[in-house]
Chains A and B, each alone.
Chain A
């Protein structure tokens, strides 16, 4: 085979996931339910964020054996999480041929200063970002996809909305700036001039941008899509609800037809109990603050 540009191929895989729903699963059976319901990828992890939040303590990469059992159960891409800065966990996931690594604030950070140098890897990375500066820093480190950080495991959409709006506002601002203002903007955002120039010229991130954190209903998913997300991650919202298969399928359809209120109204009926959720103001650990 000819010389390959891994980074381009990795960004391309993220493009194929667009308009889709990536679901957290912790067993092969859940993975099959997710695939059956129309997930465009699954995130394999031992404990979903809501349980990590309850359990407390140090949350680490999942057992590779458990991840492999999920790879064997489905034909769609399988993602898994590593701790921020834990490049050896990432090496392990690459070794077992993971399709995408999520360097995630949901797990306990392994490095309080540095993220993984993702350019050293062949497999793609997705990283969370609260604002444009974080997104562009992760991309310069080699992330092939960005997601909002939301507040995982809460079922509260407020942070995902806040992060998406902050990102959009910052992008719009740069798009309308004069050329000579871009240098100062790069300095303020603590990112390279080239990154700011790309935003100025294209009006969007150079990689795919998904919403994550707190999505629990078809309406939540459609809200994030209308705010400009290119797809959604649903973590605890599915398997912490009363009827996971039905809710998952409804969220998938709401993402495809996110502008069709009539359809979303029908999809929202009779889904059983949603995850209970916790309000942002009621929780002690704000995971989104991990890794700047």
Chain B
């Protein structure tokens, strides 16, 4: 299995280290030439969503990645990655991939003083979660499964091949989000073989 990590800005190396610890091959995506290789899954990391969105457009990565996701490529978006996957941002207008039927609120918990960590349920299991100037999901469409909530706000969700978390699994030692994503990829690959 080989997972591409979008490496335009932000905490991409942390994701790569987590995947490597699970014995998974990774590669960095910085320009279209990096996509000429087998790719079973994609991670869009945390960082500044305005920066990553702008660079996606200007480095001509937005269309190929969007097409791949729409064609079924499994994708995990964390924090800024969630914002980029969302169809709608309630409080901003900025370029994004916009494939996932969710409405998100950017900087949903305010500035850095609102950043926090907690333990909450993700897909039925309690895990540690770190929220840094995080967004939350305000609303989900009918095809979207809610995978986690903190204090009544949705912070993790899945729609078909798309998984999004408002928190940062790359900043804790718990591998459950990655294991969940790897299972998604395996199911997708089986489907492809059949």
Bound Cα distance A124, B31 (Å): 33
Q: Are B10 and A12 in contact (CB under 8 A)?
A: no
* In the complex, per-residue mask of B77-98: 1 if CB is within 8 Å of any chain A CB, else 0: 0011000000000001000000
Bound Cα distance A75, B115 (Å): 15
Q: Are B51 and A39 in contact (CB under 8 A)?
A: yes
Restricting to B129-178, which residues have a CB under 8 Å from any CB of A? 130, 132-133, 151, 168, 171
Q: Are B50 and A5 in contact (CB under 8 A)?
A: no
Most chain A CB atoms below 10 A, which of B58, B115, B133, B151? B115
Question: Which residues of chain B come closer than 8 Å to A253, judged between CB atoms?
Answer: 55, 58-59
Bound Cα distance A5, B7 (Å): 28
Task: Identify which of A2, A19, A249 contacts B118 (C-beta below 8 A).
Answer: A2
- When A12-B115, A13-B112, A99-B112 are in contact, do A18 and B50 touch as well, CB less than 8 Å? no
Restricting to A2-36, which residues have a CB under 8 Å from any CB of B? 2, 4-5, 8-10, 12-13, 15-20, 35-36
- When A123-B113, A257-B30 are in contact, do A1 and B55 touch as well, CB less than 8 Å? no
- When A15-B171, A40-B47, A76-B50 are in contact, do A124 and B112 touch as well, CB less than 8 Å? yes
Q: Are A15 and B14 in contact (CB under 8 A)?
A: yes
Question: Which residues of chain A come closer than 8 Å to B9, judged between CB atoms?
Answer: 18-20, 40, 255-256
Q: Which residue of A lies closest to B89 (CB)?
A: A75
Question: Which residues of chain B come closer than 8 Å to A18, judged between CB atoms?
Answer: 9-11, 13, 47
A292 to chain B, nearest CB (A): 28
A202 to chain B, nearest CB (A): 12
Task: Identify which of A2, A77, A94, A249 contacts B133 (C-beta below 8 A).
Answer: A77
Most chain B CB atoms below 10 A, which of A75, A100, A263? A75
Category for how many chain B residues contact A: 35 or more
Q: Are B112 and A77 in contact (CB under 8 A)?
A: yes
Q: Are A5 and B31 in contact (CB under 8 A)?
A: no
Identify the stretch in B19-27, B67-75, B103-111, B183-191 within 8 Å (CB) of chain A at 4 or more residues.
B103-111
Chain A: residues with Cβ within 8 Å of the partner, total of: 41
Q: Are A13 and B50 in contact (CB under 8 A)?
A: no
State the majority secondary structure of interface residues on B.
loop
Q: Are B112 and A257 in contact (CB under 8 A)?
A: no
Determine if B63 is an interface residue (Cβ-Cβ < 8 Å): no
- When A19-B12, A75-B92, A253-B55 are in contact, do A9 and B117 touch as well, CB less than 8 Å? yes
- When A2-B117, A9-B132, A123-B113 are in contact, do A38 and B10 touch as well, CB less than 8 Å? no
Q: Are B116 and A99 in contact (CB under 8 A)?
A: no
Q: Are A38 and B50 in contact (CB under 8 A)?
A: yes
Q: Are A16 and B111 in contact (CB under 8 A)?
A: no
B174 to chain A, nearest CB (A): 15
Question: Which residues of chain B come closer than 8 Å to A123, judged between CB atoms?
Answer: 112-113
Question: Which residues of chain A come closer than 8 Å to B12, judged between CB atoms?
Answer: 19
B7 to chain A, nearest CB (A): 7
Question: Which residues of chain B come closer than 8 Å to A124, judged between CB atoms?
Answer: 112
Bound Cα distance A41, B50 (Å): 10
Interface, chain A (partner B; CB < 8 A): 1-2, 4-5, 8-10, 12-13, 15-20, 35-36, 38-41, 71, 75-77, 94, 97-100, 122-124, 249, 252-253, 255-257, 260, 263
Give 11 CB contacts A-B under 8 Å.
A9-B115, A9-B132, A10-B112, A39-B51, A71-B111, A123-B112, A123-B113, A124-B112, A252-B55, A256-B8, A260-B31
Taking A1-B116, A2-B119, A5-B117 as known contacts, 17 extra A-B pairs with beta carbons closer than 8 A to each other, sorted by chain A number, are A2-B118, A13-B132, A15-B11, A16-B10, A16-B47, A16-B48, A17-B10, A17-B48, A18-B13, A19-B12, A38-B51, A38-B54, A40-B9, A40-B51, A75-B50, A77-B112, A253-B55
